[in-house]
A and B are shown apart, each in its own frame.
Chain A
Amino acid sequence: MSETLTLNKIVGQKGISTAEAANRVSDLGWTPSYVQEAMTFPTDYKISKVPRDPMKQVLRSYFPMQEEKDNRVYGALDAALRGDMFRNVEPRWVEWMKLFLAIIPFPEISAARSMAMVGRLAPGEELRTGFTMQMVDEFRHSTIQMNLKKWYMENYIDPAGFDITEAAFGKCYATTIGRQFAEGFLTGDAITAANIYLTVVAETAFTNTLFVAMPSEAARNGDYALPTVFLSVQSDESRHIGNGHSMLMAMIHDPSNHQLLERDLKYAFWQNHAIVDAAIGTFIEYGTTNRDKNKESYAELWHRWIYEDYYRTYMLPLEKYGIKIHHDDVAEAWDRIVKKNYVHKTAQFFSVGWSFNFWRIEAQTEKDFEWFEHKYPGWYAEFGDFWKWYAKLSVPGEKNIAFNADVGYVYPHRCWSCMVPCLIREDFCCDEVDGKVYTYCSEGCRWTHKVAFAAEYEGRATPAMGRFSGRREWEECYHGWDHADAMVDLGFVRSDGKTLVPQPHLRFEQKDMWTLDHVRGNTLGSPLRAFRALKPGAERDAAVAEYRKGYTINPCN
């Protein structure tokens, strides 16, 4: 018997088909005639076609399906505790979750909010159920992640950093990078934000690294909770990707949209690369203790998820609609990962800055070195000494690595666009926007600020496009502050009022822990202020040339 036996069949009761149900439901909308809806979130795009709903699902099957998924997640969390998961979990891994889980609930809920924007823009109501499900999904993701974080806080050896999580999210230089990711979903041109940046690029391309690669690494570190939650989160993504794709298809046939599509695909890809690869690459490569040489490195994962699955199977086919795909950016991102050590330099920066963080980072050791050298030949020559220095300087009373001239590390400029520092020195650049000088990690980021986020694009007015704002250089917020005072202001001090939340090691004895006294006496400064103080012309050019040359880490013995 091939057909499934259902109660309806037994009693001979015919229901309506799912497709029919979806059609009826999509007929709930109408065009208002008494009061017009205000175009509260404008776009410069034209959406002339009605986007089609590829999913054909209705809420009465959606809610029970999601409840069932939830039951499995919460059941697995209970089982993990019964199985004493935390006895065997790797603290090196869980510490990075303090950063990751401080960031991610806000991007998630931002995606929920952005459904308001596409919901009203899409002509017809066929996609409304899809947007509704995505809105509720993202509410699910945000709160289920807050729950996971609370669960770590309750059960992991060192809860400090989890306990201040949303306050830390507002203050830390690293979480701001994640906020750039999220604010991009819901501010500015509604289609740029909620369709291209969020759905067509972030969800379609990058959630695999976030929600599939991360869970695998978690499991290798004895963490079975994160995979349970995040694979469940990821199982919602195919619907979101479907929503995004059908919106895209409703616009792509109109050539007047092509210029903007090219701009936004370029902007979104480059920002996602700069932000997601920096963060997730670091978590996966440096947050793990598993050094199995047979597992894929982040670079290998990237090649599979981003290059093959996204670039080759999703982006390239868009060319047949006459869209120019920025092949060179994809190639450049790949080079940054495999040749220019983007991830390694990010992890190095987070570690130099350990004493401004709200999580612990321990040193990489010989066993790690071997794996890195195997996966990234040449790694040891560039980073080996640095990590030896890091281990050596992890003892309280040693001179803090961020201010220690013996090491040879030079504190970087910050990129005004992606907010990751300008770590690939040779790619450093600067430009003027509205009469002010800004620094960037790459040409892609310079273009993003100066060209993409502007009132005009290639001669075409773009009145709906957003702008970069706020105090985007974190260092400027504490310019002239003593390090210890900044830590107090940040709130990254433990409950005894003196021990720091961050530590450069995983030693859990009080005597090994750094306190405010150990970091007092160093003054923070804004690299951008210093740069702006240089005279335009020869003086500034010389500084750029000098920065691009880079630095050398001194041997550590």
Chain B
Amino acid sequence: MSASPQTVQKSGAAGSAVFAGSDSRKYNYFEPKARKASHYEDMTVDVQPDPERYLLQDWIISFPDGTPTYSKTWTKALSSNWHQFRAVDQEWERTHYQRQSTICGMVQGVIENARKSGAPKRFDSAWVKVLQDHLGAYKHAEFGLGTSLMQAQRYGYTQMINNATLTNSSYKLRFAQDLTLYLSEIGLDLQGFDHNAGKKHWLENPIWQGTRKSIEAIMGATDYLEQYLATNLVFEPLVGELFRSGFIMQMAASQGDFATPSVVAAAEADYERNLANTVELIHMLTHDKEHGAHNVKLFNGWIAHHGALAKEAAANLQPIWSQPRVKVSSFAEAQERAHNRIQTICSQVGLQAS
């Protein structure tokens, strides 16, 4: 029997020969969430390996104290199966760029059209100062969340958790830049607009110090899951949405401003997705058969800690509601909505909004 000459295969296309495995055309090493694996799952699951699944030789580099490349000890939360989590928004690179790019185009369109029609000049002057000082200060909060999530995406135990954290960070950092550039550009049309005022208020104005403290507490947390939970389950409903929806979106039109709400609306939509992802993950952990009770206790502690900071932050913001000339909604109403919101979210995942 001679091995050569080698058989000439006429085509390398699927179906041109039938043999064992010739029809095995699906990634077959994980259990899809639904009957059929989604494209997102195919792009994501098991790319970050795990010695408890397929990682035969274990992690091969460690930190000096022996902690491996990825470790379950990076959160106090426990799971009987970290790999179960799937991001609700199903993002992989293509959908992420499509969405981000669409938002960038939309925001730039808003700015261009607003300026072309001379809109900023028609903003009420008290409102211009509100945008300059307070929206200008708030952009730093968004940036802080973005950098904090950028840190967090290194630590999660699975690719699904880390990628959801990564896209969340990407959304936050984009929005912080959206606000910065929006203010910069409408500022060109507004005499005396002070671009540095926002940061000054962020660093010094007592109105913003509670918010800054709240953000710094999230940035300084060393548990990645605490950072993720505090961002989406606590800060966002109690302070982020309160300011974005409960103040900017409510007030702007009455001050002759139709542009700012369009820019800020993108962040509200971002948050809906990031919230859905977070709720899914936290729900999985609070309903874990083995560790549910442990996690509930842990998370309630985080909510109490960050909730107290966020509530103080929100209370400090109250004076802003009286700064616009035309007053269409009250702080109390906005705060009421925020409290209802966090109640609803927490009850969905079996936690207590303190």
Contacts and interface: CB of A to CB of B under 8 A. Distances in A.
User: Do A and B make up one complex?
Assistant: yes
Interface of A: 7-8, 11, 13-16, 20-21, 24-25, 27-30, 32-38, 40-41, 58-61, 63-64, 66-67, 70, 74, 84, 86-91, 94, 105-106, 109, 112-117, 119-120, 128-129, 131-132, 135-136, 139-144, 146-147, 150, 153-160, 163-171, 176, 179-180, 183-184, 186-188, 222, 362-363, 365, 391-395, 419, 455, 463-472, 474, 477, 490-491, 494-496, 498-499, 501, 505-510, 512-513
A94 B64 CA distance: 40
Given A24-B181, A64-B105, A157-B13, 7 more contacts: A64-B104, A109-B47, A144-B93, A164-B29, A166-B29, A363-B3, A508-B9
Contacts of A470: 57-62, 68
B166 interface: yes
Given A27-B199, A40-B222, A509-B19, A471 B56 contact: yes
A135 B116 contact: no
Nearest to A60: B104
B151 A119 contact: yes
14 contacts: A13-B115, A16-B185, A29-B147, A30-B199, A32-B216, A33-B216, A86-B14, A116-B155, A165-B29, A170-B49, A170-B50, A179-B60, A395-B1, A470-B60
B21 interface: yes
A37 B9 contact: no
B17 interface: yes
Given A32-B216, A167-B46, A183-B61, A24 B25 contact: no
A183 B181 contact: no
A336 B26 CA distance: 40
B173 A132 contact: yes
B174 A63 contact: yes
Given A167-B54, A186-B69, A464 B16 contact: no
B12 A472 contact: no
B6 A467 contact: no
Interface of B: 1, 3-4, 6-7, 9, 11-30, 39, 42-50, 53-64, 66, 68-69, 92-94, 96-98, 100-101, 103-105, 107-108, 112, 115-116, 139-140, 143, 146-147, 150-155, 159, 162-163, 166-167, 169-170, 173-174, 176-178, 180-181, 184-185, 188, 195, 199, 202-203, 212-213, 216-217, 219-220, 222
Q: Which 6 A-B pairs have the closest CB atoms?
A: A170-B54, A160-B21, A494-B21, A116-B154, A35-B220, A167-B29
Nearest to A173: B57
Contact of A7 (B98, B112, B185): B112
A472 B12 CA distance: 36
A150 B17 CA distance: 19
Contacts of B42: 146-147, 150
A24 B182 CA distance: 11
Nearest to A366: B4
Nearest to A114: B154
Nearest to B176: A28
B3 A392 contact: yes
A28 B43 CA distance: 33
B55 A170 contact: yes
A499 B151 contact: no
A143 B92 contact: yes
Given A70-B94, A139-B166, A150-B42, A494 B6 contact: no
Contact of A15 (B21, B93, B185, B203): B185
Q: Which of B12, B64, B146 has the most CB of A within 10 A?
A: B12
Given A109-B47, A114-B154, A28 B143 contact: yes
A115 to B, nearest CB: 7
Contacts of B13: 84, 86-87, 89, 155-157
Contact of B47 (A20, A21, A106): A106
A469 B220 contact: no
A146 B201 CA distance: 45
A469 B20 contact: no
Contacts of B6: 362-363, 365, 391, 505-507
Nearest to A505: B6
Nearest to B42: A150
B14 A156 contact: yes
Nearest to B45: A166
B307 to A, nearest CB: 16
A154 B4 CA distance: 30
Contacts of B180: 24-25, 28
B195 A176 contact: no
A32 B219 contact: yes
A165 B25 CA distance: 12
Contacts of B173: 59, 128-129, 132
A158 B21 contact: yes
Contacts of B178: 60
A136 B170 contact: yes
